Structure formats: structure tokens, C-alpha cells
Amino acid sequence: MSNKVKTVLAVDLGGTKLLIGEVTKNGEILNKKKFFSDVTSQERALNSIKEAIVTYWNNGCIGEVIAIGISAVGRINIQDATWYEINPKISEPINLRTELKDITKLPIFAANDVNCATIAEKILGDGKNVDDFIYINFGTGIAAGIVQGKKLLFGSTYNSGEVGHMVVDYDSSTQCICGRYGCVEPLASGLGISERAKELIDKYPSTNLKEDQNGRIGLPELIKAYEDNDPIAQTVLNRATQAAACLIMNLVYTTDPKKVILGGGMLNGGWFIKHIKEYLNDEAMRFVTDGLEVTNLNPNEIALKGAAMLALKEGKV
């Protein structure tokens, strides 16, 4: 019998990077490595996952690995680990268990990134003592995990939680990739606020806002400009925080949670949640008795830990 601690080899596949590491049942990451990822197709993304697992496995594991847990962008069947799509335009269904089983011969479990983050929150974070809560991720995009009666909701087609496509402004001229106008994601996500700011630059030639080398205008730059009374930053961020608050209140009325937990890169520094709270209605939030808060889990590791917890629970979350 091995004296090594039992671990899960967890994988978190993002848009540009892949994180792989061994995670214990307590959520401790014993070791982790970062790889580049390619999600321009599911086949390329699958190859990124395979390469990471093979490389890590061949270099030797610290603990006794008992399962593989995978977090990936897109829509995933938690029951059989079929990865249906990265997004509606990149849809090449792949069964991750079938494709990866021969590498380690270990059981494989998979869910999408925000569901994995919610699982981590449910087992390791501030959701562990709450039967009903919402985890909302504000990052490049916007999505949520909804826990009701201690169970994470996945939906009939494993598409639950795509709240970025909830309309919060019916008068908006901003069109979402889904085709509708006024969705919260293009108004309040990291990518969305960058695009909205870029649209206004020609209108305000005196602004100091500029695109970075990746063609983006980041939240830190917008916040600094906001405090300097830049009209672009104030227009974009006031609209973003109002839209985010509207989303939160809509979800509160829909699901009646005891707690709302926010995560993702947009929450760094505390500015975003502070200004969201200015738009929250007391009547809407009166039954959220455990409050609105930012996750205490590391945003760079939360999905990795959630993938590990998913595997340890054998998909029963």
C-alpha cells in the first residue's frame, strides 16, 4: 500500500493557458505547471490537454493520483464527460473519457470552468455552509453557477448559468454575439468594457486611454481614468456596474439565494464590487441574508480546485 497522499490530477483549460496540478481532498495544490493552450478548435484543445497530462504524468507525480478532473471552457456533459462545444461556433463533440483514458487508466470527470469554480466554492469556499447560493464570474465573459438545496444546477443540456446573455438594457444599441441587444456580457465583462471604451475614443480625442499591445483597454486603466474624470471611463464603468447590479438582482429574484459570491478578474482590487453595491436595491437584496461578497479563493486556481473536487466526488455535486 502506498504511503503517498491521495491526489487528483486536475486540469484547467482556459483560452490562452492550461494549468495542471495535483490537488488533495482539502484543496491543497501540491504541484502545478502551466502550458499554452489552443482553443481555436476542440481537436487542438484536446491535444493541449493530452500534452499536459502526458508531460506531467511522465515526469512523476508527487502523490498517489486516483482520478483526473478537467475544467474547460464551453458546454460539458458532467455525466459522461462529453465536451459538446467550446462555443456555438466551435462545436465538435468529443468524449474526454474515451480520448484520455489510455494515458493514465484512471477515471475521468469533467465540467465547464464556471461550474468547476462553483464546485470549489461549494466545497472549499464561502458556499460550503450555505444550501442555496449563486457564484457569478466576471471575467473576459460572464457566467454563473447556481446551487439550490446543496445541488449544482446543470440544466437539461448542460447549458445552465449562461447568464451573460441575460438582457439588462432593452434600449441598448450594443449587440451581443448571441444576436440580441442589451445583454449584460458586452456591457459588463472584461472584454465588453474594453470594446465599449474603444468605440468612444474617436468621440473624445482628448482622452488618455489607449489600447494595449493586445488591442485591449484593461479595467485598471479604465478605473484610473475614471478617477481622473475621463468621460469615456465614466460612461463605460457606470453602465457596466449598473448592468452587473441589474444581473445580480434578476438572479436573486429568480433563484432566491442566501448568498451571492462574485469571482473573476474584474473583482480584483475591490473597485467593481464597491460600485456595483451602489446600484443594488435593498428590497431586491433583503433575503440574501448571508450577503454579497467576493470569493476568498484564488481566482487563478479556483477552477483547478473545483475540477479536483468534482473528481473526488465522482461527479456527484
Q: Which domains does the chain have, with CATH numbers?
A: 6-121+300-312 (3.30.420.40), 126-294 (3.30.420.40)
Query: Which residues face 292 on adjacent strands?
Result: 260
Mean pLDDT of 217-227: 97
At residue 88, the pLDDT reads: 87
Pick from 193, 89, 211, 87: which is nearest to 140 by CA?
A: 193
At residue 3, the pLDDT reads: 84
CA-to-CA distance for 101 and 99, rounded, in angstroms? 6
Neighbours of 229 (CB within 10 A): 8
Which is higher by pLDDT, 101 or 2? Answer: 101
Grid-cell match 478548435, residue found: 41
Q: What are 85-94's pLDDT values in tens digits?
A: 998 889 999 9
Share of residues in the chain with pLDDT > 70 (%): 99
CA-to-CA distance for 216 and 54, rounded, in angstroms? 34
Q: Decide if pLDDT at 197 tops 70.
A: yes
Which is higher by pLDDT, 118 or 1? Answer: 118
What is the overall mean pLDDT for the chain? 96
Least confident of 14-18, 35-39, 220-224, 295-299: 14-18
At residue 19, the pLDDT reads: 98
At residue 15, the pLDDT reads: 81
At residue 43, the pLDDT reads: 95
Grid-cell match 456591457, residue found: 187
Pick from 111, 15, 8: which is nearest to 53 by CA?
A: 8
Q: Look up the pTM and report it.
A: 0.95
At residue 98, the pLDDT reads: 96
Under 8 Å CB-to-CB from 311, ≥6 apart: which residues? 8, 10, 67, 68, 69, 107, 108, 109
- Secondary structure of the chain in the HEC alphabet? CCCCCEEEEEEEECCCEEEEEEECCCCCEEEEEEEECCCCCHHHHHHHHHHHHHHHHHCCCCCEEEEEEEEECCEEECCCCEEEECECCECCCEEHHHHHHHHHCCCEEEEEHHHHHHHHHHHCCCCCCCCCEEEEEECCCEEEEEEECCEECCCCCCCCCCHHHCECCCCCCCECCCCCECECHHHHCHHHHHHHHHHHHHHCCCCCCCCCCCCCCCHHHHHHHHHCCCHHHHHHHHHHHHHHHHHHHHHHHHHCCCEEEEECHHHCCCHHHHHHHCCCCHHHHCCCCCCEEECCCCCCCHHHHHHHHHHHCCCCC
Residue 194 has, within 13 A of its CA and on its CB side, a CA count of 17
Q: Are 57 and 10 in contact (CB under 8 A)?
A: no
Mean pLDDT of 216-244: 97
Amino acid identity of 176? C
How is residue 31 written as a grid cell? 504541484
Q: In terms of residues, how long is the chain?
A: 317
At residue 1, the pLDDT reads: 57
Mean pLDDT of 18-43: 96
At residue 64, the pLDDT reads: 96
